[in-house]
Structure 1
Amino acid sequence: MRLPFLRHAMPMLLAALLLGACHGKDEAAQAGGSTPQAALQASIDLLKAGDFDRLWKHALPPADYANLRADWSLQQRDARPISAADRARFHEAMQKLGGPDAAARLYAELQPKLAAMEQQYKDQLPMLVSVGEAMLKSAVAQSRTLSEARKTQADGVLDVMLPWVRQTPWFDQARAQQAVGVAVATARQLDLKDPDQLHAMDFDATMGKYAVAWGGLKRLLAIYGLSVDDTLDSVKLTPLSNDNGHAVVKIDYTLLGRPLSTEATLVQENGRWYSEDLLQNARQSHRQLQQAATASAPASAGSAVTKD
């Protein structure tokens, strides 16, 4: 992802949108929601469908959505050039994933490696997960950007996810064969012929590619026992407060069979409801990009004058 806001906001958006309750799919066609619950439900419908363009259009007020698209073009202009090494790796990967009988050939290559990895790492995996757990929980505890409530919520998710990582049969041959098939099918759907194609894509085209990748990721996770859609379908909302254009909603959901809960804060603008965190993040990212563009403009102009 080339746009910093999308890179940082996407995990937050996916976490914040583990929601659902009222139905009302007409909300998905509009910016924001007529109620806090309607705003969240429309977002979850779009997320499940992988309709990322309409998701951003719904999750942000019209002016902020327009800024998001404009910032995308600005970021595209300043994208880092593709190195020869990156280009070579891209072509090699695409040839492996897109060639004839790619799934069978890749699995034939993977099978002996998987057996060797199982022999080498199976007994070490619980220890490695425990080390990772300690590091992740330490990072959460020391975070300066997370509130105490968010830290508690993050710890709850880790307490569910890490046992899944520890217990999942990652070296299972049958699952690996299915996963290879999904990876090959997703790569073919993405239909990326050249790394320059990534730099040339506009916002709409890129959102379409995100949808394909999102669908592939959900299928891969399902192979190993984690159904994203089941989690999204499990969500129940309970309004906690709604006063002076601010609302708080309790979000109960089930992740890997374990009940969890969190809260979402929404704000009302022009009669519609939006995620407060997402809106603040979008506006801060836009300001930073505009400031960076303004700061680089005089330098670019000076460089042009010197060349003349």
Structure 2
Amino acid sequence: MRVPTLRYALLPLFAALALTACHSKDDPSQPGGSTPESAVQSSVELIKSGDFNGLWKHALPPADYATLRTDWATQQKMQPPVTDQDRARFNDTMQQLTGPDAENKLYAELQPKLAMMESKYKDQIPVLISVGEAMMKNAVAQSKSVTAEQKTQVNAALDVLGPWAQQAPWFDAAKAKQTVSIAVDTARKLDLKSADQLRAMDFDTTMTKYAIGYAGLKQLLVNYGLSVDDTLDSIKVTELENSNGHARVKIDYTLLGKPLSSESKLVQVDNRWYSEDMVDNVRQAHQRLSQPASAASAPAVAATSAPFSPVASGTSALAPASAGAGSAPTKD
């Protein structure tokens, strides 16, 4: 009798543990998160996998996501027509990247230039990067769309990336050859046949192409010592505040071995949690797009102007720029 008694006595404990395990991880394919922490963590998983369509679908309330797609198509139609010059430039670039023996041909052209650039610019690289870093910080400081808190977070990340960029082996021949190989492989996987095809791609196709380009970019960065995946894997999310349908979380992460942190605000819509910055940004962009042509002469930021600074400001940096009004935030 002792064993059955113990087993039944432990059943509530096992059930509680199982329930906790079920709720500790959301399904990233579903809109929003069941908690603020899970909403951010699922977005991080989608960023790591390069599933940008899934990211928009998860990060936006369903009504906003639907309007995002519609507005994206509208913005595509507003783009200027493809010119013969555009076509010629595109064809020349893709021929170099995807033609027969492209990797060896490109590296043969690059190798003597690499040696020349090393002898001419090696000592100037730290100064040039420092100047570039200062310009980026100044641009961030002058930006009216970035909060003071986000500016602090971006500057902290730049303080880590600057020294890395100054010391990276940009002129190393073996790494340069690997970079060419990655670029050629990525271009072939993109399988873009013409500038007209590029302009005519729908939302889903564009997101798929973005995923391919993003994977190539991550490989390039790893080649020079910066792993985006390592940074994403290091993210820890902690809830700081949660009341009246609004929450604030802390995002701790490691960038190039340096511990950093940022904060992200979330809003509750129909009992699911979403990035407040992303929701606000896409709704504001939709409002701008809906204004009369005379008032909206300055084009809104494209929905696919991707992002990518997830570690600097949570997932808010991934805000597309066309989305519609969704449900109002619920109140607890």
The two structures share one fold, judged by TM-score above 0.5: yes
Q: Could you say if the C-alpha distance between residues 292 and 214 of structure 1 is closer, same or farther in structure 2, counting changes exceeding 3 Å?
A: farther
Query: Whole-Å Cα distance in 2 between the matches of residues 130 and 23 of structure 1?
Result: 45
Query: Whole-Å Cα distance in 1 between the matches of residues 24 and 294 of structure 2?
Result: 42
Counting matched residue pairs gives 275
2:160 matched to which residue of 1?
Answer: 160
Query: Whole-Å Cα distance in 1 between the matches of residues 142 and 295 of structure 2?
Result: 33
1:271 matched to which residue of 2?
Answer: 271
Query: Whole-Å Cα distance in 2 between the matches of residues 68 and 225 of structure 1?
Result: 36
Which protein shows a greater Rg? 2
Shift of 1:138: 2.4
Query: Whole-Å Cα distance in 2 between the matches of residues 269 and 217 of structure 1?
Result: 34
Q: Could you say if the C-alpha distance between residues 241 and 295 of structure 1 is closer, same or farther in structure 2, counting changes exceeding 3 Å?
A: closer
Query: Whole-Å Cα distance in 1 between the matches of residues 73 and 190 of structure 2?
Result: 21
Q: Could you say if the C-alpha distance between residues 201 and 142 of structure 1 is closer, same or farther in structure 2, counting changes exceeding 3 Å?
A: closer
Query: Whole-Å Cα distance in 2 between the matches of residues 46 and 74 of structure 1?
Result: 26
Contact 2:106 2:180 in 1 (8 A): yes
CA deviations over 1:246-303 (Å, ceiling 9, x no partner) = 111011000011110010100101000000001000001111111146979xxxxxxx
SS in 1 for 2:27: helix
AA aligned to 1:199 is: R
Query: Whole-Å Cα distance in 2 between the matches of residues 92 and 274 of structure 1?
Result: 43
AA aligned to 2:229 is: D
Shift of 1:144: 2.9
Contact 2:26 2:38 in 1 (8 A): no
2:227 matched to which residue of 1?
Answer: 227
2:255 matched to which residue of 1?
Answer: 255
2:143 matched to which residue of 1?
Answer: 143
Query: Whole-Å Cα distance in 2 between the matches of residues 23 and 40 of structure 1?
Result: 14
2:288 matched to which residue of 1?
Answer: 288
AA aligned to 2:90 is: F
Percentage of pairs with the same residue: 63
1:184 matched to which residue of 2?
Answer: 184
Contact 1:24 1:42 in 2 (8 A): no
Give the alignment of 1:112-123 within 5 angstroms.
112-123=112-123
Query: Whole-Å Cα distance in 1 between the matches of residues 147 and 52 of structure 2?
Result: 28
Shift of 1:228: 0.4
Give the alignment of 1:43-122 within 5 angstroms.
43-122=43-122
Query: Whole-Å Cα distance in 1 between the matches of residues 91 and 115 of structure 2?
Result: 28
1:7 matched to which residue of 2?
Answer: none
Shift of 1:147: 2.6
Contact 1:27 1:34 in 2 (8 A): no
Query: Whole-Å Cα distance in 1 between the matches of residues 200 and 25 of structure 2?
Result: 33
SS in 2 for 1:249: strand
1:212 matched to which residue of 2?
Answer: 212
CA deviations over 1:153-180 (Å, ceiling 9, x no partner) = 1211110011111110101100010010
SS in 2 for 1:268: strand
Could you state the TM-score of these two structures normalised by the residue count of structure 2? 0.80
Contact 1:27 1:38 in 2 (8 A): no
Query: Whole-Å Cα distance in 2 between the matches of residues 268 and 49 of structure 1?
Result: 25
2:243 matched to which residue of 1?
Answer: 243
SS in 2 for 1:170: coil
AA aligned to 1:67 is: T
Runs of 4+ that moved beyond 4 A: 22-26, 292-296
SS in 2 for 1:251: strand
Instruction: Structure 1: give runs of 5+ residues left out of the alignment.
Output: 1-21, 297-308
Shift of 1:71: 0.7
Could you state the TM-score of these two structures normalised by the residue count of structure 1? 0.86
- Are 2:128 and 1:128 aligned? yes
Contact 1:246 1:268 in 2 (8 A): yes
Query: Whole-Å Cα distance in 2 between the matches of residues 29 and 50 of structure 1?
Result: 13
Contact 2:41 2:237 in 1 (8 A): no
